[in-house]
Amino acid sequence: MQVFFIHPLMAQQTPLLSHYYYNPYLINPAMAGQLKETRAFLFYRQQWAGMPGAPQTQALTVDGPLSDTRFGLGLNINNDLTNIVGRFSAMLSSSYLVRLTEDQDLSFGLSLGILRNDIKFDKIRGDLTDAGLLLNAENRTVFDGNAGLSYRFKKLRIGFASEQLFNKSITYSNAADFRGVSYSLVRHYLVSAQYPFQLNENWELTPLLVLREAQGLPAQLDVNATLKYKDIGWTNVVYRHQSGVAMALGFNVGDRFMISYNYELPTSDLRTATSGSHEVMLGMRFLKKNSGGSSSKSINSKMLDEFRRDNSAQYERLDEIQQRNETLNQELVAYKKIIDEQNSEIEKLKKSMGTVDEELKLTIDQLKVDLQREGSFDKTFNYYLIIGAVRTLPDAKAFQKIIRRETRIKPEIIQNDNQTWYFVYSDQLKSVSEARQKIKELDSNNIRPYIIGNPWVYKSRKNTKEQ
């Protein structure tokens, strides 16, 4: 019997970009084209500068309205490299705005596209002569998607978004020694709320709260504020709970171009290993031509006034959940050690079973209950669904441990009536129909690869106390 084990790795997944307060489409597909102008942005981020293997991210987004309809379209391309893990994604987005009342609207958004994940095993520092390591740079491409909602009531905007909707698992395997690595794409969630305050004719302050969560990790709260001066420039400050503080400064260059720089300083133990994180944003507006002869500047001002009246020029932000400070290389070494120990257990159990294989077949033929002929169970017997049989108690416990570790079954151990075999069973049965149903469940749940032979039913006479 050959068993192939795959163990998932935990590492930073979706790219981290801090300019979501200015470009809400970065983190919520419901905002694609909903600001009523077509815009393109380029981003570059160097996270944790000075730390080997720290994340580097490049991104391109383009979004805008579809003519004068309530539909918006967008394109989001990301390229990210963290240690030995590379990630490239390209997503097409569509959004739709529903007017609920004069003061309320709700927009829906969906992004679909491809995600290519690379693990550069050839960069691992280790014993490259070990056949257990995958030595090549491997890449896999999967279909993925994001979804979002954005609700506005007057000046208040509340958003919800989810990334990596389909929870894909990407497997890198070494067929030579039945080992592999599984990279699981966990789902990320975001809830945000913001409200702009017009301080005076020139200044506007927008507080923004963001609660972020990923499967298997604690939630994290971001508190930030953006202070804007006319249509000239802005500054943004943010406190990320138990993670870091950041500040950004940006300007509009003429009517078409925007530029911004963000600096982030960690407040965790990372501050001893890095000088901080740097991010640059370059943006461009695609202004409509004026058929009536007025300047593009007046058109842009009119559009901005309309945005203020509709309260639709508010920005949401999403930041990547930062993983623990362990590096991916350390995780790979730890998982390799676990795989080696488990393979050793399997090989030992296979050798023990091989010496009694024929005798076990004869025993099963003599003891198993024929479910085709058995109309009902005799109440003077106990009935068990057997998934393995061995000669010694240590082997039985080893098999029990493997099943509990690799499946959801919690098996127990009994001895046959003449105490010559140890049987590992998954369920104690009450009826023939239950026995048939439990056997079907073993097949449907992909548990059969871990079971010794075929599952069968054993009956043992109850003792006086049980009766």
Q: What are the boundaries of each domain within the chain?
A: 7-327, 355-461
Give me the amino acid identity at 233: G
| Model pLDDT for residues 191-235, shown as the tens digit of each residue | 899 999 999 999 999 999 988 888 778 888 888 999 999 989 999
Edge-to-edge strands, sheet with 381-390? 412-415, 422-429, 381-390, 456-461
- Give me the pLDDT at residue 346, please: 61
171, 337, 338, 342 from 9: Cα distances, Å: 10, 14, 13, 17
User: Which residue carries 């300047």 as its tokens?
Assistant: 295
Low pLDDT (below 70) residues in the chain: 1-13, 121-137, 172-181, 183, 288-356, 445-446, 452, 464-467
CATH code given to domain 7-327: 2.40.160.40
- Give me the pLDDT at residue 12, please: 43
Question: What's the rounded Cα separation, in Å, for the pair 408 and 447?
Answer: 9
- Give me the pLDDT at residue 101, please: 92
CATH code given to domain 355-461: 3.30.70.1070
